[in-house]
Amino acid sequence: MRRVRAVLRIVAVLLALAGGGLYLASYFRGGCLLLGALLAWGFERRLALGADFGARVRALARRAAVPAAGIAAALLIGAAIMALTGYSPLASYEALFYGGFVRNWHISVLNAVPLVFTGLAIAFGFHGGLFNIGAEGQYLVGVMAATWLGIGMGLPPLVGMALIFLVGALAGAATNLVPALLKVKTGAHEVVTTMMFAYAIRTLAPIFIRAHGGDPANTAHPYVTDAVAEGVWLPLFKDFLPEANYRLHVGILLAVACAFLVHFVLTRTDLGYRIRAVGANATAARTQGISVAWITTLSLLGSGALAACAGITQVLGLDHRMFQNLDAGYGWNGISIALLARNHPLAIPFTALLWGVLDAGGQYMARTVQTPNAIIEIVKGILLFLLLAEVIYEKFGTILRDRLKGLLDRKREVRS
Amino acid sequence: MSVLASLLTPALFEATVRLATPVSLAALAAVISERSGVTNIAMEGIMLVGAFAAAWGGWHFGNPWIGLCCGVGAGALFSLFFAWSVVSLRINQVVAGAIMNILGFGLTRYLMMVVYGRQGTSEAVPRTLQECRFAIPLLSRIPYVGSALFDQTPVVYLSLLSVIGFAWLFKRTRLGLSIEASGEHPMALETLGRSVVRVRYLAIVLGGALCGLAGAFLSIENSNSFTEGMSGGRGFIALAANIAGGWRPVGAFAAALFFGFVDALQLRIQGLGIVKVASEIFLVFPYLATLAAVAGFVRKSRPPAALGRNFSVEHPED
Amino acid sequence: MSLLKDTPPLLETRGVTKAFGGFVANRDISIRLHAGEIVALLGENGAGKSTLMNILYGLYRPTAGTVLLDGEPVRFASPREAIARGLGMVHQHFMLVPTLTVTQNIILGAEPVRLGHVRTREARERVRGLSERFGLTVDPDARVEDLSVGLQQRVEILKALYRKARVLILDEPTAVLTPCEVEELFAVLRRLAESGTAIIIITHKLEEVLGLSHRVYILGKGEIRGELRTSEADASTLARLMVGREVLLEARRDTEPVPLGEQVLAVEGVAARDARGLPALRGVDLEVRGGEILGIGGVEGNGQRELCETVAGLSRPEAGRILLKGRDVTRWSVRRRLQAGMAYVPQDRRGEGLVLPFSVEENLALGLSGRAPFSKAGFLDPRGFRAHAERLMGIFDIRAGGADVPASTLSGGNQQKIILAREFSRNPAFLLVSQPTRGLDVGAIEYVHHRLLELKARGAAILLISMELEELFALSDRIAVLHGGEVVFERQASATSLPEVGEYVVRGRAAGTGRAS
């Protein structure tokens, strides 16, 4: 029995890898392999859990119900707005999903890469009871670190990349050092401190850009620096999968690996356990000897490091320079992604991918059916609202339940 | 010495007041809502909505004053949604503010296409409020600051009046006392028979009207059309001004004025080409000042005791 | 001070009952209050006094029964209505806005206005007039946060008088006053009563009852246990009624006497302040030896919380030392004390003892997660967690849907078992435990007592803090009483009785002198 399960697990992983890779080249073949991986994994879990399997699946469905309902409701409201203002919801959504999921899938994936990292950063912060809203600033720090190290440093490929990631992550962590100290010493709320830092960094970034070859006076490309040395560019999928899109880089693999890493740290290490304890009930943690000050600091630093990695992958993988992304809203989007995934690290790649699809599909929709893709922004805002307005669900839920009960009772009366 | 003379011209002070106006209006909005206990980071989004509405009103009706009213009204209406989210639904106030910003950007960009059929900048309004500049007879003759304060455009006057008005409100009216109680000890207010929910709704909507006014300034007084994203981060500088100003109307106004001064100074220095210092060093000033205030280096600026905590009579510990 | 018993009562309750879900806070309460009378509601914490007052004031609605004002039934939907009908309340935790002035606080909600403008000057004059009339001198322009607690209380009273209160309800008014301020307050209240105001004082202090009131109702566990004319009552009678007539001493679970070991915990001259900065512990000396249970009785608010916090390491005392197994641990962190053999079962099991969203097995590892069997080199071992949890759940009979269900789904008794199991698994040399059986049913209480005695038999030293006298007697070898931050009584349990301890709990030092008050 155990051997069968082990075999199934290996098969699932291999199929997933192969399918994922192939999907980037051929959607159909890759998709089939991925489906096979899912089935293999499903069988393995069924054998492992036995009777529990059904209960587990139901529990998972219940946890995903609220986000799923939120997505559906937000899309519906978006459709209503489109209809009211003279655009066709059906045609728009068709273009959206076709563009995002099929035709421009590679753009969706490219969009998702930094979002996974910022989503992880914010979720990690939430687990520790912290609201790292200044992820934007840490992202920029990562971008600047990567650009600075990458331009003309002549580093050998792999070592260079590793070094850049290390230094960049540390820089991102260091960005949150002052907010962490302020929080521990004076109780200053990290929302204000990290936000101020983010805006300060954003304001100072042009200095960096000018120092590295950019020219803010150039209206066409005001914020473009020199290119990063080719030696540290992230490899492209095209290098070993010729059918893949020419811009798709392996950053997505790094992002997914990072999600696993964060999940591992939170669930399988003592540090992660303590972070979650402090986040859930700092008083109880303190009563049991856990140093809340130390853990809070580490949480904020870790969150900063993750957000910085978003910037590093963006520079090394896609832009190869510091690009015009001073206002990408990664911080705010990161909040939505984290909340949509209910702060579960393994769910974040999926929600980040959804966001990437929305962005890529939105642009395709704007190009083909001329629906303004700002509707996507509105849908995102409504979705975030619906995720949080749990009270609405409670009210809806009880109203629905009472109506159903009323219906069933009446049916029973009629029958008897 | 001549450097100083060429710097501190009346034009500099005028620029200070002009640059500070939208920020001081939004900062006042922050003061009101945060004093009532609601953390408000939504000023950016509400300003955008107000700016768009003002530009539309001014263009559609051909009258900038109607545009002004549209801006204020839109700001108040949009902030009603924020009030509903945080006071009635008791959503986390910071995230609710983020939602408002996302929706503000999204809605205005979307409506740009719907109303004007293009992105970027809207149709120009035929008459802007800039043309309605007028000077107050004697006061505008005061050297240096006279023209800055008393020879200005309507919204600037309104902003000055608002500061005085709200300072008076907090000290001398029922609403002012209730707002302060709602932010410091909401249960006390409730036991005295006044509804915290009502007070907070009122505070947020008042703030929204002010943000709408700030937006109107941006689109039909400082310029002649609406441009996407024209709030340009002023909402967050206003937040900084509120904190640096110690959550008081006059303090926030002074902070906003100071930030405007630094901004104007930076522009002037750039224009004169005196010093080769990057202008951005000046622009960072508001954020550093806020950090210092929050860290307690500036005088004891304490936020309202109940700030950020959603209130409900059944769950006073919420 | 004539009691007009023939006149109809100004305020009356008939059969008022209030239930919160399954918990009955007030059961069938009937009290009467006449104009010019001072009535005291005497009872321990949790007796239901505050609930009753909140009903009268319109913050809660009674589940059953009626409230009558001037002989007519009333049902207040909010405090606003109660205020309008002439009820004024001085809460235990002041309802004052710290950043506003005295005048502003007093007029809040009832400000005199003209054209939108609040007439502060007029208000100030009225406040000054009131304060002179009733001897409640206070500076009308001072900010409330700058005032002493006694002065703040005057502002609260003035708030009620400004609204022409005919009935004044004071909730534990002397809890935060100095003796001098208490005397001043009494004088004010007597004057108010003479001018016709009806006054209810909620208290657990006998001195207030005997020194001030005309009549007293004794409340216990939500019911009225007695009604007396103060002139016919004395301290001992009141104490006995408060503590309960059931002098049920459970048969001590003593099997063989346990040999007394070395001194494990010593508290020497510890002084500490509470969260407000007022002195809470004034030079406390205690010691506990291995194999014995020292039970500390006393009503909440007499320093128990601060004692727990200083012994556990959550806060530093102002003065004095704490010794654990002979070593001075006064400056040690909680973690170091836990590692040195201490264990702590806090009073608030949901807020301080458990992380409710965590699973049972995760809670069982709280504070222990850094070492085996839970983790190795920083990495958690799920099997270690599970094995530990299953073992403890078996030993302590923790009923849950599994080791991985959230702790929030367990009953109160089972939640307490988790905390006990975890702390006991440390094999502590010293256990600090506070209110271990609060809110538990009889079966759970018995179980907890059994476990504590078992731990004692293994040679541990236990410091038990409890408000339940029966519990103290069932478990302790020695009993002490904490009153006003001092240890006012300490004796072998076998050499004292429940009524005697009860009297010290209620009266403090005065109990020993035999004075009436």
The lowest-confidence range among A153-162, A393-402, B131-140, C358-367 is: A393-402
For C140-154, what is the mean pLDDT? 87
Q: Which of B191, B291, B281, B198 is nearest to B243 (CA)?
A: B291
From A256's Cα to the closest Cα of chain B, the distance in A is 26
Residues of chain A contacting residue C352, judged by C-beta atoms under 8 Å apart: 283-284, 287
Residues of chain C contacting residue B315, judged by C-beta atoms under 8 Å apart: none
Highest mean pLDDT pick, A125-129, B115-119, B147-151, C150-154: A125-129
Range of the structural domain that residue B154 is part of = 2-122+148-295
- Cα separation values, A404 from A68, A69, B109, B260, Å: 22, 19, 42, 60
pLDDT bracket for residue B30 (50, 70, 90): very high
Is pLDDT at A346 greater than 80 in this prediction? Answer: yes
The lowest-confidence range among A52-56, C56-60, C106-110, C376-380 is: A52-56
Residue B77 covered by a domain: yes
Distance CA C4, CA C6 (A): 5
- Output the average pLDDT for chain C: 84
Q: Pick the residue from chain B with its C-alpha nearest to A185.
A: B295
Of B172, B181, B192, the CB nearest to C117: B172
For C135-150, what is the mean pLDDT? 86
For B311-315, what is the mean pLDDT? 63
Q: Using the beta-carbon criterion (under 8 Å), do B278 and A210 form an inter-chain contact?
A: yes
Residue B130 covered by a domain: no
Residues of chain A contacting residue C315, judged by C-beta atoms under 8 Å apart: none
pLDDT at C512: 67
The lowest-confidence range among A328-342, C278-292, C345-359 is: A328-342
Long-range contacts of the stretch C132-135 (C-beta < 8 A, 24+): C134/C161, C134/C188, C134/C191, C134/C192, C135/C184, C135/C187, C135/C188, C135/C191
Percent of chain A, pLDDT > 90? 33
Cβ contacts below 8 Å, chain A against chain B, sum to: 116
ipTM of the complex: 0.84
pTM, rounded to two decimals: 0.84
pLDDT in tens, B285-298: 888 888 888 777 65
pLDDT at B295: 79
Is pLDDT at C2 greater than 60 in this prediction? Answer: no
pLDDT bracket for residue B271 (50, 70, 90): confident
Q: Pick the residue from chain B with its C-alpha nearest to A180.
A: B295
pLDDT in tens, B224-259: 889 888 888 889 889 889 988 889 999 999 999 998
Is residue C378 less than 8 Å (CB to CB) from chain A?
yes
Q: Using the beta-carbon criterion (under 8 Å), do B105 and A182 form an inter-chain contact?
A: no
Of A274, A276, A287, the CB nearest to C314: A287
All partners of chain A with 3 or more CB pairs under 8 angstroms? B, C
Higher pLDDT, A397 or B28: B28
pLDDT in tens, A187-234: 888 888 998 899 899 888 888 887 877 776 666 655 666 666 676 677
Highest mean pLDDT pick, A400-404, B71-75, C303-307: B71-75
Q: Using the beta-carbon criterion (under 8 Å), do B105 and A377 form an inter-chain contact?
A: yes
Q: Which of A260, A303, A288, A350 is nearest to A129 (CA)?
A: A303
For C158-175, what is the mean pLDDT? 87
Residues of chain B contacting residue C97, judged by C-beta atoms under 8 Å apart: 180-181, 184-185, 188-189
Q: Using the beta-carbon criterion (under 8 Å), do B191 and C98 form an inter-chain contact?
A: no
pLDDT bracket for residue C224 (50, 70, 90): confident
pLDDT at C396: 86
Between residues 283 and 322 of chain A, which touch chain B (CB distance below 8 Å)? none
Total domains, chain B? 1
Between residues 163 and 202 of chain B, which touch chain C (CB distance below 8 Å)? 172-174, 177-178, 180-181, 184-185, 187-194
Residues of chain B contacting residue A196, judged by C-beta atoms under 8 Å apart: 240, 287-288, 290-291, 294
pLDDT at B107: 93
Of C94, C108, C117, the CB nearest to B192: C108
Is residue B305 less than 8 Å (CB to CB) from chain A?
no
Is pLDDT at A180 greater than 90 in this prediction? Answer: yes
pLDDT bracket for residue A115 (50, 70, 90): very high
Residues of chain B contacting residue C59, judged by C-beta atoms under 8 Å apart: 191, 313
Is pLDDT at A13 greater than 80 in this prediction? Answer: no
Residue B89 covered by a domain: yes
Is residue B14 less than 8 Å (CB to CB) from chain C?
no
pLDDT in tens, C444-491: 888 888 889 889 888 899 999 998 888 888 899 999 999 888 898 898
pLDDT bracket for residue B207 (50, 70, 90): very high
Higher pLDDT, A157 or C72: C72
Residue B304 covered by a domain: no
Residues of chain C contacting residue A273, judged by C-beta atoms under 8 Å apart: 362, 365, 369, 375, 380
Which of B170, B173, B175, B177 is the best substitution to test chain C (most C C-beta atoms within 10 A)?
Answer: B177
For A90-108, what is the mean pLDDT? 85
Residues of chain A contacting residue C355, judged by C-beta atoms under 8 Å apart: 277, 280-281, 284-285
From C307's Cα to the closest Cα of chain B, the distance in A is 25
Residues of chain A contacting residue B233, judged by C-beta atoms under 8 Å apart: 199
The stretches of C269-330 forming alpha helices (DSSP H) are 304-312
pLDDT at C314: 92
pLDDT in tens, C325-372: 889 999 999 999 998 999 999 988 888 899 988 999 999 988 888 787
Hey, what CATH topology would domain C260-341+428-517 get? Rossmann fold (3.40.50)
For A285-314, what is the mean pLDDT? 93
Q: Using the beta-carbon criterion (under 8 Å), do C79 and B177 form an inter-chain contact?
A: no
pLDDT at A206: 81
pLDDT in tens, A208-221: 887 877 776 666 65
Is pLDDT at C248 greater than 50 in this prediction? Answer: no
Q: Using the beta-carbon criterion (under 8 Å), do A203 and B308 form an inter-chain contact?
A: no
From C107's Cα to the closest Cα of chain B, the distance in A is 9
* Residue A3: how many other CB atoms lie within 10 Å: 7
From B108's Cα to the closest Cα of chain A, the distance in A is 8
CATH number at residue B209: 1.10.3470
From B142's Cα to the closest Cα of chain A, the distance in A is 36
Q: Using the beta-carbon criterion (under 8 Å), do B95 and A380 form an inter-chain contact?
A: no
For chain C, the structural domain boundaries read 11-243, 260-341+428-517, 355-426
Highest mean pLDDT pick, B76-90, B112-126, C147-161: B76-90
Q: Using the beta-carbon criterion (under 8 Å), do C369 and A270 form an inter-chain contact?
A: yes
Q: Which of A31, A35, A37, A39 is nearest to A102 (CA)?
A: A31
Give, in words, the CATH class of C11-243. Answer: alpha beta
From A378's Cα to the closest Cα of chain B, the distance in A is 5
- Output the average pLDDT for chain A: 83
Is pLDDT at A363 greater than 80 in this prediction? Answer: yes
pLDDT at B36: 93
SS (H, E, C) C426-470: CCCCEEEEECCCCCCCHHHHHHHHHHHHHHHHCCCEEEEECCCHH
SS (H, E, C) chain A: CHHHHHHHHHHHHHHHHHHHHHHCCCHHHHHHHHHHHHHHHHHHHHHHHCCHHHHHHHHHHHHHHHHHHHHHHHHHHHHHHHHHCCCCHHHHHHHHHHHHHHHCHHHHHHHHHHHHHHHHHHHHHHHCCCCCCCHHHHHHHHHHHHHHHHCCCCCCHHHHHHHHHHHHHHHHHHHCHHHHHHHHHHCCCHHHHHHHHHHHHHHHHHHHHHHCCCCCCCCCCCCCCCCCCHHHCCCEHHHCCCCCCCCCECHHHHHHHHHHHHHHHHHHEHHHHHHHHHHHCHHHHHHCCCCHHHHHHHHHHHHHHHHHHHHHHHHHHHHCCCCCCCCCCHHHHHHHHHHHCCCCHHHHHHHHHHHHHHHHHHHHHHHHCCCCCHHHHHHHHHHHHHHHCHHHHHHHHHHHHHHHHHHHHHHHHHHC
Inter-residue contact C506 to C236 (CB < 8 Å) = no
Of B184, B189, B193, the CB nearest to C78: B193
Of C314, C352, C357, the CB nearest to A280: C357
pLDDT at B318: 35
Between residues 72 and 101 of chain A, which touch chain B (CB distance below 8 Å)? 81, 85-86
Cβ contacts below 8 Å, chain B against chain C, sum to: 69
